Structure 1
Amino acid sequence: MREEARRERQRETFSELYARFAAGEPQGLATPTTPELTGEQLYGGADSAAAELHREPEPAMADAEPQPAPESLLGTVPASGAAKARKKRSKRRRNLVMLATFLIFAVVVAGSFYFIRSLVKQFNPDDYPGPGGQAVEFTVEDGWGPALISRKLEELDVVASDKLFMDALEDSKADNVVIHPGTYPLKLQMPAADATEVLVDNRPDKVFYIGLKANLRLQASLAEIAKGSGLDEKKLGELANQPEKFGLPESVKNLEGWLHPGEYRFALDTSAEKVLTELVDSTKTALQDAGVNDLGEGYRALKVASILQAEATPKDYATVAGAIENRLNPNNVETHGLLQTDSTVIYGLDRYSLQFTATEKRDAGNQYNTYVHTGLPPTPIGSPATSAIDAAVNPADNGFYYWVTVNTQSGETKFASNYAEHQVNQNEFRAWCAANAEVCK
C-alpha cells in the first residue's frame, strides 16, 4: 500500500512539472515533503511509524536536467519567440496569397481589356488617317455590288475594312449611290470616305464603263452599251443604222462588225454618238494596223473576220481564212463559189443554235444562207477581235475547202481538200454531238 501511494505522488509531481514547463514557468528545486502515514502506519505500531519517519527522502523531479527550449529555423529561441516566428510566417503567407491574388486579378483585367478592345475594333475598326500611300488602279467589274466591292477594297488594303467603306457609302451625300463598272485611281490605305468619293457617282467628272466581248452581234453590243452607260438603247439603235455618221462608205449597211471588242471608259456626260464613234474608230485602227486603209476593203475583211470568230479558234484562224478564200473563188470545183457556213445561216435566222432544218438550209429568203447565195453575207455576223481581223487580211495559202469543228468544247477542227474527206470529218462531229446532246442543241 505504501508503495502505491508513493507512486501516485510521483505521478502527480510529474504532471505538475510538465504543466509548468509547458507554460514556460521557471523550474526550481522541489521541496522535500514529509511522507504521509497510511492507515497501516497509523495502526501498525510505533516501530513502523519511526522507521517510515527516518527513511531517506527520494530525489524530486526537479533534480532532472532542464529541457532545452524549442528550436526555430533561426536557432534556439525562447517559447515566446517561437510564437512570434509563427506569427511572422503566417503574415508572410498572407502577403504572398494577397500578392498572387492581385497578380491573377491584374492578368484577368488586362486580358479582358485586350479582348474587349479587339472585339470593339472588329466591329468598329480604326480608319486610315489619310491621305493614302501608293497609287493603284481599282477595277469594278460589271455586276459587282457594294458588298463585293467593299471586300475587294479591303483585300487590296485600299480601305481598313469593308465595314468602314459600307458605312461611308451610307453617309455619302450623293443623290444616287451607284458605283459604275470601270477602273478608278485610288491609293493604298486611304480613308474610306475618300475612296467612296472617288467611286460613287456623285460628280460630273466620273466615268462609266463598257465591256464588249468578241463575236457579239450588233443588238447585243448595243444592249451592253446601254447597260454600262445608261444611254437609251433605242437611240443607240437609230445611230447604228446611220453608218455614214461615222465616216463609213455607202456599202456599209449598219454598224454590225464595227463596234470593236474591248473595255472602254467614258465621262458620264458622253453622248451616244461619241460612244459609238470611239468604238468604230477602234475598228478602223485595227484594220489599219493589219494593213488595210481602204474602208471598203476593210468591210470585206470584217465579214471574213466575223466568220472566223464564229467558226474557228484563234490557232486555226489563218487556216480557215485560207479555206474561205478558196471557196469564194467562183471557179472552184468543190463549192462553186458557195461559202456554205452554218454560222451565217443561223445569224440570218436570228438564232444562236447550231442546228437548223433541211428546209431552212434551202431557204433562199435568208440572205445570210451561204448554202444558197454565193459570196460573202451582206454584213459581218458579229464583232471580230483583232486577231481575227489580222487573219482575214493575211489568210494562209492552202488547198483546203472544208473544215468542221469535231469537238465544240475543245475547239478541235479538221480540214479537208475534197467533199469525201469532209464527210468523214462530219460523221465524227455527228458522233460527238450524239454523245453531247446538251451542247449540240
Structure 2
Amino acid sequence: MREEARHDRQRETHRALYERFAAGTGFQIEQPSEPEVTGSEDFTQTLAASTDPAHAPVAADGEGTDTGFLPAQPDAPTLDEPGHHEPEPEYPAEHDAADEQYAQAAPAGLLGQEADAQNLDPHKTKRCKRTKRRRNLVMLATVLIFALVVTGSAYFLKSVLKQFNPDDYPGPGGAAVEFTVEDGWGVNIISRKLEELDVVASDKLFSDAVSDSDSENKLIHPGTYLLKKQMPAAEAASALIDQRPDKVFYIGLKANMRLEAAIAEIAKGSGLKEKELTALANKPEKFDLPGSVPNLEGWLHPGEYRFKLNTSAEEVLSTLVKSTKASLEQFSITDLDEGYRILKVASILQAEARTPDYATVAGAIENRLNPNNKETHGLLQVDSSVIYGLGRYSLQFSPEEKADASNKYNTYEHAGLPPTPLGSPANAAIEAAAHPEDNGYYYWVTVNIETGETKFASNYQEHLRNQAEFRAWCDQNPDVC
C-alpha cells in the first residue's frame, strides 16, 4: 500500500510540474545527469512527442491533457520479487523544521558558505574588541604591579640589610670637627652624637668598633676631642678610647682676609712662629698646588678651626688649603688651575659686591674679560685690585696711581685677572664665580652705601648716570662717604 501511495504522489507531482510548464509560467527544472526512474527511453520518446502539437493527446472534452508525457509506471514489485528495495523511511515534518532552523543558526563556515561581513553584528564586534582590550590592560597592570612589588621588596630588603650591615666611610676624613664628651655619656650616646655630626657613617659601626678594639681599657673620657667628618669608625674609636683629650687652640679667619693678615691671625691663635708660617705660605708646592700658584693667597679658607696644641704649622696650613679645595669640589671645580682662576674672580666679588649681587657681578666680570668687548676691551677696571697692589685698604687713590702700570694689580692698565686672588673668598662668592649669571652688563656701582643698593649698566653713558646718583647720595651723607 505504501509503495502505491508513493507512486501516486510522484505522478501527481509530475502532473503539476507539467501543467505549470504548459501554462508558460516558467519554472526551471534541474536536469539530472542520468535518469532517476526506469523506462527513461520511453520517457524521452514520450516527451519528444509531447512537444509536437500533432501528437499531443486530446482529452475526451477536446482539450489537451498534460499527462501524455509521463512514462508508463511498472507495477510495484512484491516483496518476493528480485530487485525489491525497502522503501526509504519518511521523516516527520518536525524533523525538517529542525533541520531548517539549524541551517539558519549555524555559522556560514560550517555550512560551507562564505561569511557575510554585512550580516555580522557591529555591537558584538565592538564588544569583542573591548573585551580583548580590557583583558590586555588587566594583564599589563598585573605585570606592572608584580614588577613594582618585586622592586619594592628588593629595596626594602636592601634597606633592612643595610641597617644591620651599614657601609663604613673609607677615610681619611674631611673637615675638622670639635667633639665634646660630657660626663656620664656612654658608648650609645657618644655613637649617636658622632652619627649626627657625620663623623661616622652609623652609630652601630662605631659601637662595633669600640667592642672590637684591642685596647684593654675601652673607656671614653669626658673632654673635647678634635675629629674629622666622615672618618672610618675604627679610627674614630681609636681617637676616643682611653685618650686624655689635649687642649686645643682656636683660629678664626674672616672672608676676604688677605694672606698677610691670615698669617698674623694664625700665629696669634696658635703660638706658631709667623716667620715659619710665611715661609711655608710661599711654598705652595708643599700643599699640592699647581705651578701657576705663587703663594697661598686665596687658599686659606675662612672659618673657625680648632687644633691640638702640638699641631705643626704645615699641618695647620694644610688643613686650611684642604678646606678651600673641598669648597671648589663642592661646586664641581676639580681642576686646580681652573680653581685658581675661580678664586681670583671670587675674591673680587667678595671685595666689591653684596652677596645677593654676586652672580650678577660675576657675569659682568666675565663680559669684561672678553678681549673683544667694545666697552672695556678686556680691562676689569676694579678699584679693589688697584688698592691690593698698593698695599692699602682704602678705596681712594690718586689719578697718578690709577695710571701707574708698574702696579701689576692695576686692572685699569693691565687686561685680564690680577696675578693672585685679593683675599680668601667664602663659599657664596666661590659658587657665584663658578656659575656666573649670563647677562649683558659691563658696569656696576653702589649708589647707596647704607642699603648696599647696586645698579648695573650695559654701556658707559648709563654708568655715568649711576655714578652721578652715587655722588649725589654722598653729598647728602658726607659722614658715610
Alpha-carbon distance in 1 for matches of 2:185, 2:450: 46
Paired residue secondary structure (2:454):
strand
CA distance in structure 2 between the aligned counterparts of 1:420 and 1:235, rounded to whole angstroms: 51
Residue number among 255, 261, 271 corresponding to 1:220 in the alignment: 261
Matched, 1:301 2:301: no
Amino acid corresponding to residue 409 of structure 2 in structure 1: Y
Deviation for aligned residue 1:184: 5.0
Give 1:427 shift: 1.2
- Of residues 347, 350, 357, the one that matches 1:316 is 357
Matched letter for residue 465 of structure 2: V
Deviations 1:57-94 (A, max 9, x none): xxxxxxxxxxxxxxxxxxxxxxxxxxxxxxxxxxxxxx
Other-structure match for 1:274 = 315
Structure 1 residues 5-24: Cα deviation after superposition (integer angstroms, max 9, x where no partner): xxxxxxxxxxxxxxxxxxxx
Partner in structure 2 of residue 246 of structure 1: 287
Between the aligned partners of 1:295 and 1:392, the Cα distance in structure 2 is 14
Q: In the alignment, what sits opposite 1:395?
A: 436
Which segments of 5 or more consecutive residues in structure 2 lack a partner in the other structure? 1-181, 191-222, 226-243
Q: Within 2, Cα distance between the matches of 1:325 and 1:133?
A: 54
TM-score normalized by structure 1?
0.54
Deviation string for 1:187-235 (max 9, x for gaps)?
A: xxxxxxxxxxxxxxxx881111111110101111111111111111111
Identical-pair percentage: 71
Q: Is the 8 A contact 1:346 1:353 kept in 2?
A: yes
Residue type of the partner of 1:255?
L
The question of 1:418 aligning with 2:465 is answered no
Q: In 1, are the aligned partners of 2:346 and 2:433 still within 8 Å (CA)?
A: yes
- Alignment RMSD: 2.1
Partner of 2:478: 437
Question: Do the aligned residues in 1 keep the contact of 2:408 with 2:414 (CA within 8 Å)?
Answer: yes
Q: Which runs of 5+ in 1 are unaligned?
A: 1-129, 137-182, 186-202
Contact 2:342 2:433 in 1 (8 A): yes
Q: Is the 8 A contact 1:204 1:269 kept in 2?
A: no
Q: Which residue, 374, 385, 388 being the options, matches 2:415?
A: 374
Q: Deviations over 1:249-273 (max 9, x none)?
A: 1100111000001111100000001
Q: Residue 473 of structure 2 aligns to a residue in which SS?
A: helix
Paired residue secondary structure (2:257): coil
Partners of 2:395 and 2:455 lie apart in 1 by 18
SS in 2 for 1:307: helix
- AA at the equivalent of 2:308: A
| 2:390 pairs with 1:353 | no
SS in 2 for 1:254: coil
Q: Report the alpha carbon displacement of residue 131 of structure 1 after superposing the two structures with TM.
A: 5.6
C-alpha change, 1:437 and 1:184, in structure 2 (3 Å) is: farther
Which amino acid counterpart does residue 412 of structure 2 have in structure 1? Y
Residues 436 and 227 of structure 1: CA distance in aligned 2, closer, same or farther (over 3 Å) = farther
- CA drift of 1:436 comes to 3.4
Aligned match of 2:86: none
1:256 aligns with: 297
Number of matched pairs: 248
How far the C-alpha of 1:359 sits from its partner, in A, is: 0.8
